[in-house]
Structure 1
Amino acid sequence: MAVPSLVAQTIYAELLDRCANAAFDEAFIEEGAFTAKMIKGRRYWYFQVGVGAARKQRYVGVETPELLEHIARHREARNDARERRALVSTLVRSFNMPRPIPQIGDVTAALAKAGVFRLRGVLVGTVAYQTYSAMLGVRLANALLETGDVDIAQFKNVSLAVEDNTPSVLETLRGVDKTFRAIPNMLDGRRVTNYAAKGGLRVDFLTPNEGEETGQPQSLPALQTDAQPLRFLDFLIHDPEPAVLLHDAGVFVQVPAPARYAVHKLIVSSRRRDGTAKRDKDIRQADILLTVLAEKRPHELRLAWEEAHGRGPSWRKLLLQGLSVISASARDLTLKTTDLRRLAIPGLDLTFSSPPVRYDFSRDIVMFEGEALGSAVSCAISREALDDHFGSSGLDQQGRLDSVLRSRSKIEFMARTKYRSWPIEEPGKVLIKTEDVPELLKEPSASKSADRSVRAKRGRHADGK
């Protein structure tokens, strides 16, 4: 599966580059010139059209090497919509990458053409999650890709600073579907943060909550709409990534970094009521993304986790609560990537109910099973550990099984200690090796030392170290 994934990601990278060029060229088709401004020590670029009193400037973006390359190539770029459609088709048909339903694709494309993403709006929610399949070279579960909403977020200060604006949101949306209407906000009927079309499709605008959670709509002048403030959204949309929605010839958008999306879902899932569809979807999306990121982007996952973990006790509590409800494998992979111990998870313990023991000749170990948070844990002790510390040297298979049964309570205690307090070696498993036994048999002093080590690690995360 590695080769198809690499091929798919190569095709996607080419599509992303072509769509970025096309979006840039389509945004600045008039006769004009690019000009730069220094604002608070950073260089921002604008596209200037007209002369004299009729002169207008449109926001291009903060200076980056990629932006300077787009500016340099602006007049040379060609219209390659046909080639882009072919790349989209290849990703969808040959690699089974997800594409949005046509109406959502059309709405997102219209918002992109209107300048929403050029003006640093960020596509969030499940439509953004759909883009991660091609971005990461994986096929995400269909049930987690279904949505009837398009969610757009923007920082309020960014909306004020760009000194440019899109056309009216309602005008843009009605260009796609004439049944779109503005929905008055429930707290302030004069403000509009949501738009809905006949059939149920919604477009929602969001902005990070500043100060107390009042729920009062905030104005986003660059997008000519109001937005619903949400807590934790600032973490999600900080430093977004460019992406392509696999619709038509590809829609160039900005989405949250996948690691931020996964960590954010852990947080918000902990704030939803048990049993709700949104909570279940949040947990499943976090579960799958954390598993993929632990393999493909472990450094980014660790940085995102440490940033969220360092924002204070309430953030840490929600993060660990979120980890306690995802699958054991995703939880262990996340803990291993972030260098935390399992005992950080509230309520996590390894328990035994006199499970049968069996000998695995292929690995020369005695195996038995435990349980943690409702999931089975594969436990084992090596033949060398039994021979060196439990008097089974020279015994046959049955003899070693009997030695485990005679020392069951001690061996289970060691397995529990290593599982909870020691660095994670393999998700969902714990193996007692001969070199582990002397340290594990120092309990309870060793257990207290391990607890102190974990508490120290938590403190370093809280300090941002």
Structure 2
Amino acid sequence: MQRVPLTIQTLYAELDQQVRDAATAAVLHPHGSLVVKEIKGRRYWYHQQRIEGRQVQRYVGLETDELLRRIAERDAARSQEAERRTLVRSLHAAGFTRPDRRTGRILQALAEAGVFRLRGVLVGTVAFQVYGPMLGAKFPAAIAMTGDVDVAQFRSVSIAVEDRTEAMQDVLRRIDPAFAPVLGLSRTPASAYRSGGFKVEFLTPMRGPEEDDRQPLPAVGTFGQPLRFLDFLIYQEVEAVVLYDAGIAVRVPDPVRFALHKLIISQRRRDLAKARKDRAQAHQLLEVLAEDRPHDVQERWAELCGRGPKWRSLAVAGLETAPSPIRALLP
């Protein structure tokens, strides 16, 4: 892990703001209008527009001061695309990892379809790639390479958001017509799509003791494969930018949760190479976070351990090869 100068971190902060502004502006068609829905004391903004005689609403986001600023400045955001591309090139030249062209085009298609706007969360190694510029650190390229894209979403969010993408298979086939659903032995609806050796998979937290049936995620036009421990990972997700083209606005797990989750997953892997990669990603992130956000690390660790002895034993096992300062921080 190598720290980068403050000037480089400032470039990412500027890119992040511009990409977020542009993503909000893209939803706000000039001929539509904005409406607000209040649910349980919180205000949610939607953009509505009449299309082919039908009133269509698109989810914009939870009301915050930042969202209100983006809405107010939406016209200026539409004119900054060339500047965003320059910032992406500068960050890549500084040594940060960016996705290959195929992965980048798929992420771009998912973002344009509304997957991340509708609270889909990018997980896995592609998410790990964004933590470098976010945290101001360069990680070894060998642990940031992947041939998959994984997206997770809470089912409750998918139902409550009151907006929909088109069918996910249609979204992916516009990028690559070879994408086909991966069907299980029981022929249940697909949660994954494959083209050659590349897979895009959708996940959702497991609610029952051992829940195998894929669950509908209506907001993102597909089903999700239930996974244990995923609820800890994607709770309180954060905004981030993928360094591709003019930048892609995504949501990723909080880096502290990502690192601690990787400790657990590393102990459940049958593939030893993937287990080593999980631990390496966790240790690299924790090395940075132990310096910059030690209290957050300790709070999330206490939360994890409070979920039961199995959670703690798996996480502790994942720490066995971690540097001693990290082990000392997590009792």
Q: TM over 0.5, yes or no?
A: yes
Q: Which residue of 2 aligns with 1:262?
A: 259
Counterparts of 1:2 and 1:277, CA distance in 2 = 23
Counterparts of 2:87 and 2:47, CA distance in 1 = 30
Q: Look up the equivalent residue of 2:272 and give its one-letter code.
A: T
Superposition pairs for residues 61-76 of structure 1, below 5 Å? Answer: 61-76=61-76
2:172 touches 2:179 (CA, 8 Å); kept in 1? yes
Counterparts of 1:169 and 1:177, CA distance in 2 = 12
Counterparts of 2:76 and 2:265, CA distance in 1 = 45
Q: Which residue of 2 aligns with 1:123?
A: 122
Counterparts of 1:231 and 1:280, CA distance in 2 = 20
Q: Which residue of 2 aligns with 1:322?
A: 318
Q: Which residue of 2 aligns with 1:250?
A: 247
**SS where residue 117 of structure 1 aligns?**
coil
Q: Look up the equivalent residue of 2:306 and give its one-letter code.
A: G
- Please say which of residues 210-219 and 97-106 is displaced more in the overlay: 210-219
Structure with larger Rg: 1
**SS where residue 77 of structure 2 aligns?**
coil
2:46 touches 2:60 (CA, 8 Å); kept in 1? yes
Shift in CA distance, 3/288, structure 1 to aligned 2, threshold 3 Å: closer
Q: Return the offset for 1:40.
A: 2.1
Q: Return the offset for 1:189.
A: 1.0
Q: Which residue of 1 aligns with 2:326?
A: 334
> What do the CA deviations read for 1:130-153 (whole angstroms, capped 9, x no partner)?
001111111111111110000000
Q: Return the offset for 1:78.
A: 3.3
Counterparts of 2:80 and 2:174, CA distance in 1 = 24
**SS where residue 271 of structure 1 aligns?**
coil
Q: Look up the equivalent residue of 1:298 and give its one-letter code.
A: P
Q: Which residue of 1 aligns with 2:181?
A: 182
Q: Which residue of 2 aligns with 1:302?
A: 298
> What do the CA deviations read for 1:355-404 (whole angstroms, capped 9, x no partner)?
xxxxxxxxxxxxxxxxxxxxxxxxxxxxxxxxxxxxxxxxxxxxxxxxxx
Counterparts of 1:125 and 1:3, CA distance in 2 = 22
Q: Look up the equivalent residue of 1:192 and give its one-letter code.
A: A
2:18 touches 2:77 (CA, 8 Å); kept in 1? no
Counterparts of 1:57 and 1:13, CA distance in 2 = 30
Structure 2: stretches of 5+ with no match in the other structure: none
Q: Look up the equivalent residue of 2:203 and give its one-letter code.
A: L
- Please say which of residues 10-19 and 310-319 is displaced more in the overlay: 310-319
Q: Which residue of 2 aligns with 1:19?
A: 19
Q: Return the offset for 1:190.
A: 3.4
Q: Look up the equivalent residue of 2:96 and give its one-letter code.
A: M
Q: Return the offset for 1:30.
A: 4.7
Question: Which of residues 248, 273, 279 in structure 2 aligns to 1:277?
Answer: 273
2:22 touches 2:74 (CA, 8 Å); kept in 1? no
2:188 touches 2:213 (CA, 8 Å); kept in 1? no
**SS where residue 43 of structure 2 aligns?**
strand
Q: TM-score, normalised by structure 2?
A: 0.95
Counterparts of 1:156 and 1:214, CA distance in 2 = 14
Q: Name the Cα RMSD after superposition.
A: 1.9
Counterparts of 2:304 and 2:3, CA distance in 1 = 34
Shift in CA distance, 135/337, structure 1 to aligned 2, threshold 3 Å: same
Counterparts of 2:198 and 2:31, CA distance in 1 = 37
Q: Return the offset for 1:28.
A: 2.4
**SS where residue 61 of structure 1 aligns?**
strand
Counterparts of 1:103 and 1:147, CA distance in 2 = 11
How many residue pairs align between the two structures?
Answer: 331
Q: TM-score, normalised by structure 1?
A: 0.68
2:2 touches 2:137 (CA, 8 Å); kept in 1? no
Counterparts of 2:52 and 2:248, CA distance in 1 = 35
Q: Return the offset for 1:77.
A: 2.9
1:30 touches 1:49 (CA, 8 Å); kept in 2? no
Counterparts of 1:231 and 1:26, CA distance in 2 = 35
**SS where residue 96 of structure 1 aligns?**
coil
Q: Which residue of 1 aligns with 2:87?
A: 87
Q: Return the offset for 1:335.
A: 3.5
Superposition pairs for residues 386-397 of structure 1, below 5 Å? Answer: none
Counterparts of 1:304 and 1:140, CA distance in 2 = 22
Counterparts of 2:176 and 2:28, CA distance in 1 = 26
Counterparts of 1:37 and 1:253, CA distance in 2 = 24
**SS where residue 175 of structure 1 aligns?**
helix
1:156 touches 1:219 (CA, 8 Å); kept in 2? yes
**SS where residue 177 of structure 2 aligns?**
coil
2:27 touches 2:58 (CA, 8 Å); kept in 1? no
Counterparts of 2:154 and 2:288, CA distance in 1 = 28
Q: Look up the equivalent residue of 2:243 and give its one-letter code.
A: L
Q: Return the offset for 1:74.
A: 2.2
Counterparts of 2:85 and 2:52, CA distance in 1 = 41
Q: Which residue of 1 aligns with 2:229?
A: 232
Q: Look up the equivalent residue of 1:280 and give its one-letter code.
A: R
**SS where residue 334 of structure 1 aligns?**
helix
Counterparts of 2:305 and 2:211, CA distance in 1 = 25
1:185 touches 1:193 (CA, 8 Å); kept in 2? no
Counterparts of 1:51 and 1:156, CA distance in 2 = 28
Counterparts of 1:287 and 1:4, CA distance in 2 = 18
Counterparts of 2:144 and 2:52, CA distance in 1 = 50
Q: Return the offset for 1:323.
A: 1.4
Q: Which residue of 2 aligns with 1:99?
A: 98
> What do the CA deviations read for 1:29-88 (whole angstroms, capped 9, x no partner)?
351111111112221111111299722211111222211211222244332111111101
Counterparts of 2:221 and 2:325, CA distance in 1 = 43
Q: Look up the equivalent residue of 1:80 and give its one-letter code.
A: Q
